[in-house]
Structure 1
C-alpha cells in the first residue's frame, strides 16, 4: 500500500517486497503520467538482485485502477477476517494506517489524472 501511495503522490519508481522465506516476491512499480507498469519477480532470496529473479507477472494499468484495486482488496480482507483476526492469520496488525493513507492520497489526487493535457499541465 505504501508503494502505491508513493506513486499516487508523484514518485515514478518504487518497490515492495514480501518475504516467503527463503523465497521473496518483489513488486516493482514504474509510473509515467497516469500509466503504471507493474512487474512481479520471484527471487530465491530477498537480498538477490532483480536480474536473478523470475518474472511471474507484469502488467500496465492506469494509476486510478491500481489504487482502487489495492483499496478494494484490503477493504475486503478487513470485512472478511476482521482486523483482530487478521493478526491471528498473518501475525501482523492490520495495516489500517497505511490503508487510510492510500485512500486519502487517492481521493486527493484522483482529480489530477482527469485533468486534460495543456502546456501548463503536462
Structure 2
C-alpha cells in the first residue's frame, strides 16, 4: 500500500491511496484539520479502536475515509459525498482495500515524512496555511512502534488508545 499527501497550492492537497488492485484520491481543503484528523484516525485504529473515520472537506463536497479494524487487518473505504452533511450511505465509493494494520500505519507515516522532507516546517506552513501536524505524526509513529513490538498474534487488541487520545 502507498499513501501520498501532495500539497497542490495554498490550502489544497490531494490524499492519494494505492494498493496492488486500485488507486483513489481525495481533494482536501485546509478549512478543517484534515491532516491532523487523518493521522489521528489511523493512530486510533492502530491502538485498538475498531472503527475510525476522517472527513476531508472539498468545498462543498467531502471525502470520507472509513477504517474498520478486524484483528490485525483494516478494511479501508474512501468515499465521496456531494455535500458534507450527507450520511456515509449517500456516498460513492472511490477506493477500498484491506491491509495489515502495520502496513497502513507505515504507509501513512511515510507519506507525511515525505511531505516534511520536501517542504519542511516553513514550506508546509506556506503551502498549506497551517503548521505541519508534528504532534499527530509523532503519536502515530509511537503507536506503530508499540504494535510492531508485539507478537503478531497479539496485534488484534487495544494497546492503550486512552493514553494518546481523548474519545471523540
Counting only pairs closer than 5 Å after superposition, residues 43-122 of structure 1 correspond to structure 2 as: 43-112=81-150, 114-115=152-153
Say whether 1:23 aligns with 2:61: yes
Please, what is the CA RMSD of the aligned residues? 1.4
Go from structure 1 to structure 2 and tell me whether the alpha carbon gap of 1:39 and 1:113 turns closer, same or farther (over 3 Å shift): farther
Q: TM-score, structure 1 length as denominator?
A: 0.91
Secondary structure in 1 matching 2:84: coil
Runs of 4+ in 1 over 6 A off after TM superposition: none
Q: Deviations over 1:56-102 (max 9, x none)?
A: 00000000000000000000000011111111111111000000000
Structure with greater Cα Rg: 1
- 1:22 and 1:44 in contact (8 A); partners too: yes
Structure 1: stretches of 5+ with no match in the other structure: 118-122
Q: Which residue of 2 aligns with 1:120?
A: none
How many residues align? The count is 117
The 2-side partners of 1:11 and 1:113 are apart by 19
Q: TM-score, structure 2 length as denominator?
A: 0.67
More helix by proportion, 1 or 2?
1
